């Protein structure tokens, strides 16, 4: 183990962490606004992966452009999902929304497995690599990082500078008060949900440009998203990004020192520790 | 029959369990025994989960961790220490109970989604840990030498013995579930479920009650785990700590009617039958997951009280029988 | 109204010569905001204490400190000579302190009777399930909810839920009852019935602290009044004394109707 290897691992982890972060951002946004844990999160990520893959394979569309289409599809999917599965149970005990989103998860995975089977897929679109001393990074990783930063900036601009964004923050803060002020809460909730799924779909698309995947890959990212969301603070999108980076870097560095199988144990113990000791996360919850 | 012995709700639930459990005894068939084992196992796991989720209102994604850990501990005592099955099963249950007690102290201060996520983390952490834990065989796990069954008179006899122990255990589980529901302890749990803050103000010692509910809900899966993996002949981390299995239990509890005694019994039975049907049916096997998802969604949206809950509301006169 | 409540003798704490409740220099801050500032008063048994003050004065916070929802940052609360401040809420319930809430908190999925049984089981006497039944029935009878005993608590209307809050608190057979705006949202007839009930409770030996905004009610029923404003105790005394206190009148001057009513109704 030398400094060069460590540096390479850290940077790699950082970049992957950014992608983890944007995946988790959608989950935390939905929770922050309406106190719902979207158990179909992984399935939407998977749909994002496949969306980009299909557009690339069939139409030859540049994956990065495909991601934009996938983002729109993700938004629409979220709106539909909200109306179908979440709206009715939004004020019910938490078990209801957990199971309703899980039901949607089952539906999506079931259909996807039938349509695509479980063979691994790959988006073979290479942008070349960059070398700087011991550090070799594929340009697609750079592109992914750039995309994440753009998306995050876009999200924050939207939430803080636009009217719909402010409405979302108002509803997240206090739904009843927002309604009294005349904000159409149902529409805002539906849109927020769509925004969350959009982020998940985008994350899926980015992951497709970096790694191979199967119909079942979504669940791995979903579980990682839970850990990240707790690290960063439930309801805090920037926290999700930072939590993602922390997780990515941890996953990059730890295997250099000890067997890679311990990474998962450490991740989850950290997860539980934070929940118990500092449930508002490292950055504090709610924007 | 004196008033003291009139418990129609319990009798109905027991009748269902006994009908299921005794059926293989009547036909003598191994196939029926195997399917009933799966069903009864789910009944036991779902009923125990109901004590935490249905009575106390704390949703757990990690219930299977008790099944897995108990299974591992019991399996270890059988393979490494040569202990007989009944003792190993008991130890498995105790181990699960101890884990529950420790977890209770740490996790039960969390509410709602935070608690649910924490249980998820515990399940995943345990699986990852056991994968690295060499006394438990690491990622390969442990396996039982076939000769171990000889001590019970052969493989077939061993499987029948395991089956009857399970039947007895599930009967016990249903009785315990009923006793809790009708007791002051159970009333305290339900008060916590409805409004923990108000319950405490009324004098319910919430943290103590919740911890004991968790421990009680953990011991049964611990024992069941030992029975299952003994029958299986081997145990490995990916089998013992499946998140999907945990979530399926939640589905069963909700399907049948959370917070009732009969609910988890019917829910487990119904879910397993449905699953079995979908898996073997020509038309549906490809999209069985999708169909199950659609059904679950419809139930959550329109019959959230589950089958038993819905019946109780619809026909109030049946309330005493449908506990 | 039935006189079926537990007998007077049962409600007298044995041999308590001193005050039932002692609030001693209680201070409570919330992130820099001073919610309660040096509140001190004693409450003797079998009295009704009225706790009044403009909105946001800290009345409910004071209740929260008394029954253990919050620990005071300074000072203490003694109940029958024993320190209860800083201890968990179930502890005060066991000692004989019960409380209702401004925004009612029924155990919705449980029946009205089961709600009362919870109060009886986990209250001062720590009854077993079997013993709690008759107590619950008595209390429901006393507040007039007996015909609704089998209904799920969530199905009641607001006035009924308020009575259930009261019944639950009474079922625990407390020495001290904290009532938080039991009259809010009631029409004049319901209000009179409730005041009658409150007096009947006091007559059975239970000590009461009442938070109220309805001036005529609280002034007519209280033996003693404490006035809070911005977390400070600005006056205490008999209803008449308090109504004539200029500081009190000023505090309510933001609401001249209240100030007038204050002077009228005593």
The tens place of each residue's pLDDT in chain C, 266 residues long, gives 344 444 444 444 555 568 899 999 999 998 888 899 999 999 999 999 999 988 888 899 999 999 999 999 999 999 998 999 889 999 999 999 999 998 899 999 899 999 999 999 999 998 999 999 999 999 999 888 999 998 999 999 888 898 899 999 999 999 999 999 988 878 888 888 888 889 989 998 999 999 988 778 888 899 999 999 888 998 889 988 888 887 777 777 556 666 666 666 54
Count of structural domains, chain C: 1
| For B198, nearest residue in chain C (alpha carbons) | C105
Structure confidence at residue A49 (pLDDT): 92
* Subunit contact A99:B251, Cβ cutoff 8 A: yes
Distance CA C253, CA C54 (A): 10
Domain B3-320 class in CATH: mainly alpha
User: What ipTM was estimated for this complex?
Assistant: 0.87
- Chain B partners of A285 at a C-beta cutoff of 8 Å? none
Cβ-based interface (< 8 Å): residues of B facing C: 183-184, 187-188, 190-191, 193-195, 197-206, 259
Q: Does A57 touch chain B (CB under 8 A)?
A: no
* Subunit contact A265:B129, Cβ cutoff 8 A: yes
Structure confidence at residue C8 (pLDDT): 41
C188: domain CATH number? Answer: 3.40.50.300
| Facing residue for C122 by CB, picked from B190, B197, B203 | B203
The proportion of chain C whose per-residue pLDDT surpasses 70, expressed as a percent, equals 88
pTM of the model: 0.87
Distance CA B300, CA C159 (A): 32
Residue C215 is assigned to a structural domain of this protein? yes
Q: Which residues pair with C74 in a beta bridge?
A: C27
* pLDDT, tens digit, 9 for 90 and up, residues C74-103: 999 999 989 998 899 999 999 999 999 988
Structure confidence at residue A132 (pLDDT): 64
Structure confidence at residue C7 (pLDDT): 43
Distance CA B17, CA A61 (A): 58
Domain that residue C203 falls in: 8-96+174-264
Q: Answer whether C211's CB lies under 8 Å from C51's CB.
A: yes
Residue written as tokens 């004196």? B2
Sequential DSSP letters for B216-267: HHHHHHHHHHHHHHHHHSEE-HHHHT-HHHHHHHHHHHHHH-TTSSHHHHHH
* Subunit contact B206:C122, Cβ cutoff 8 A: no
Q: Out of A6-15, A101-110, B263-272, which region has the weakest mean confidence (pLDDT)?
A: A6-15
Kindly report the average pLDDT of chain A as a whole number.
Answer: 87
Reading the block at residue C68, the tokens are 């253990």
The CB density around residue A128, as the number of other CB atoms within 10 Å, is 7
Measured at the alpha carbon of residue A187, what is the angle toward residues A184 and A193, in degrees to the nearest 5? 135
Distance CA B313, CA A247 (A): 48
pLDDT means per 10 residues, chain B with 323 residues, are 72 92 86 92 97 93 95 93 92 97 91 86 92 89 84 85 95 95 95 94 94 97 96 92 88 91 94 83 68 86 90 85 81
Distance CA B193, CA B53 (A): 9
Residue C121 is assigned to a structural domain of this protein? no
* pLDDT, tens digit, 9 for 90 and up, residues A160-216: 889 888 888 888 888 888 888 888 889 999 999 999 999 999 999 999 888 888 888
Give me the total of CB pairs closer than 8 Å, taking one residue from chain B and one from chain C: 72
Residue C62 is assigned to a structural domain of this protein? yes
Residue C154 is assigned to a structural domain of this protein? no
Query: Where does chain C show beta strands of DSSP type E?
Result: 21-30, 33-43, 48-52, 74-79, 82-83, 97-99, 176-180, 207-211, 224-229, 232-237
* Subunit contact B289:A103, Cβ cutoff 8 A: no
What is the bridge-based pairing of β-strands C97-99 and C176-180? parallel
Structure confidence at residue C137 (pLDDT): 95
* pLDDT, tens digit, 9 for 90 and up, residues C35-72: 999 999 999 999 999 999 888 888 999 999 999 999 99
Residues for chain B: how many in total? 323
Cβ-based interface (< 8 Å): residues of B facing A: 53, 57, 59, 106-107, 109-110, 112-114, 116-118, 120-122, 124-125, 128-129, 131-132, 139, 243, 247, 250-251, 254, 258, 286-294, 296-297, 300-301, 304
* Subunit contact C105:B188, Cβ cutoff 8 A: no
Tell me, yes or no, whether chains A and B touch by having 3 or more C-beta pairs under 8 A: yes
């Amino acid at each position: 183990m030398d400094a060069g290897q460590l540096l390479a691992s850290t940077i790699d982890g950082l970049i992957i962490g950014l992608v983890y972060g944007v995946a988790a951002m959608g989950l935390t946004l939905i929770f922050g606004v309406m106190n719902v844990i979207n158990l179909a999160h992984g399935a939407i990520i998977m749909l994002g992966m496949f969306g980009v893959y299909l557009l690339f394979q069939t139409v030859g569309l540049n994956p990065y452009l495909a991601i934009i289409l996938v983002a729109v599809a993700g938004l629409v999917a979220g709106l539909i999902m909200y109306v179908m599965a979440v709206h009715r149970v939004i004020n019910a005990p938490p078990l209801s929304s957990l199971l309703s989103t899980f039901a949607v998860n089952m539906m999506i995975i079931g259909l996807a497995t039938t349509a695509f089977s479980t063979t691994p897929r790959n988006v073979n679109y290479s942008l070349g690599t960059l070398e700087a001393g011991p550090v070799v990074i594929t340009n697609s990783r750079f592109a992914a990082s750039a995309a994440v930063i753009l998306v995050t900036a876009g999200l924050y601009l939207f939430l803080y500078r636009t009217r719909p964004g402010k409405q979302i923050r108002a509803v997240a803060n206090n739904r009843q008060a927002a309604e009294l002020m005349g904000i159409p809460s149902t529409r805002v909730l539906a849109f927020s949900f769509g925004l969350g799924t959009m982020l998940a779909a985008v994350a899926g698309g980015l992951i497709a440009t970096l790694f191979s995947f199967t119909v079942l890959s979504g669940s791995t990212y979903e579980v990682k998203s839970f850990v990240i969301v707790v690290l960063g603070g439930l309801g805090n999108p920037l926290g999700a990004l930072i939590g993602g980076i922390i997780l990515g870097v941890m996953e990059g560095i730890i295997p250099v020192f000890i067997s890679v199988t311990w990474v998962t144990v450490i991740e989850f113990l950290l997860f539980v520790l934070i929940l118990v000791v500092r449930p508002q996360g490292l950055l504090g919850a709610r924007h | 029959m004196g008033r003291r012995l009139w418990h129609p709700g319990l009798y109905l639930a027991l009748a269902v369990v006994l009908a299921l459990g005794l059926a293989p005894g009547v036909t003598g068939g191994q196939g029926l025994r195997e399917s009933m084992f799966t069903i009864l196992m789910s009944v036991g796991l779902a009923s125990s989960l109901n004590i935490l989720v249905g009575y106390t209102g704390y949703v757990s994604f990690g219930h299977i961790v008790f099944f897995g850990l108990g299974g591992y501990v019991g399996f270890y005592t059988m393979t490494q220490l040569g202990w007989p099955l009944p003792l190993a099963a008991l130890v498995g249950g105790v181990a699960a109970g101890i884990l529950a007690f420790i977890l209770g102290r740490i996790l039960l201060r969390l509410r709602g989604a935070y608690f649910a996520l924490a249980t998820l983390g515990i399940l995943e952490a345990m699986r990852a840990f056991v994968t690295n834990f060499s006394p438990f065989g690491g990622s390969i796990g442990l396996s039982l030498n076939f000769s171990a069954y000889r001590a019970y008179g052969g493989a077939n006899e061993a499987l029948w013995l395991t089956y009857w122990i399970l039947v007895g255990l599930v009967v016990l589980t249903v009785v315990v579930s009923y006793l809790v529901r009708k007791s002051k302890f159970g009333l305290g749990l339900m008060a916590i479920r409805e409004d923990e803050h108000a319950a405490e103000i009324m004098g319910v010692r919430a943290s103590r009650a919740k911890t004991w509910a968790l421990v009680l809900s953990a011991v049964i899966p611990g024992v069941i785990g030992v029975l299952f993996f003994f029958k299986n002949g081997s145990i490995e981390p990916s089998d013992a700590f499946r998140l999907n299995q945990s979530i399926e239990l939640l589905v069963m509890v909700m399907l049948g009617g959370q917070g009732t005694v009969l609910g988890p019994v019917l829910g487990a039975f119904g879910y397993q039958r449905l699953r079995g049907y979908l898996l073997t049916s020509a038309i549906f096997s490809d999209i069985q997951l999708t169909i199950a998802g659609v059904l679950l969604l419809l139930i959550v949206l329109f019959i959230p009280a589950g089958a038993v809950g819905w019946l109780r509301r619809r026909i109030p006169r049946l309330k005493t029988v449908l506990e | 109204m039935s006189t079926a409540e537990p007998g007077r003798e049962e409600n007298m704490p044995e041999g308590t010569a001193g005050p039932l409740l002692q609030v001693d220099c209680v201070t409570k801050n919330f992130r820099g905001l001073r919610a309660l500032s040096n509140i001190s008063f004693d409450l003797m048994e079998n009295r009704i204490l009225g706790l009044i003050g403009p909105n946001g004065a800290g009345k409910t916070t004071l209740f929260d400190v008394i029954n253990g929802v919050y620990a005071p940052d300074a000072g203490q609360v003694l109940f029958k000579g024993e320190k209860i401040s800083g201890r968990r809420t179930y502890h005060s319930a066991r000692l004989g302190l019960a409380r209702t809430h401004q925004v009612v908190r029924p155990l919705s999925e449980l029946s009205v009777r089961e709600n009362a049984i919870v109060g009886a089981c986990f209250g001062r006497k720590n009854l077993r399930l079997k013993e709690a039944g008759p107590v619950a029935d008595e209390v429901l009878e006393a507040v007039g909810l007996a015909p609704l005993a089998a209904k799920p608590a969530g199905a009641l209307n607001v006035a009924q839920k308020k009575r259930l809050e009261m019944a639950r608190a009474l079922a625990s057979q407390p020495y001290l009852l904290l009532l938080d705006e039991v009259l809010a949202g009631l029409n004049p007839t319901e209000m009179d019935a409730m005041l009658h009930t409150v007096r009947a409770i006091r007559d059975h030996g239970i000590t009461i602290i009442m938070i109220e905004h309805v001036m005529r009610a609280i002034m007519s029923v209280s033996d003693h009044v404490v006035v809070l404003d911005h977390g400070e105790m600005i006056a205490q005394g008999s209803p008449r004394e308090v109504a004539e206190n200029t500081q009190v009148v000023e505090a309510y001057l933001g609401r001249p109707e209240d100030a007038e009513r204050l002077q009228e109704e005593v």
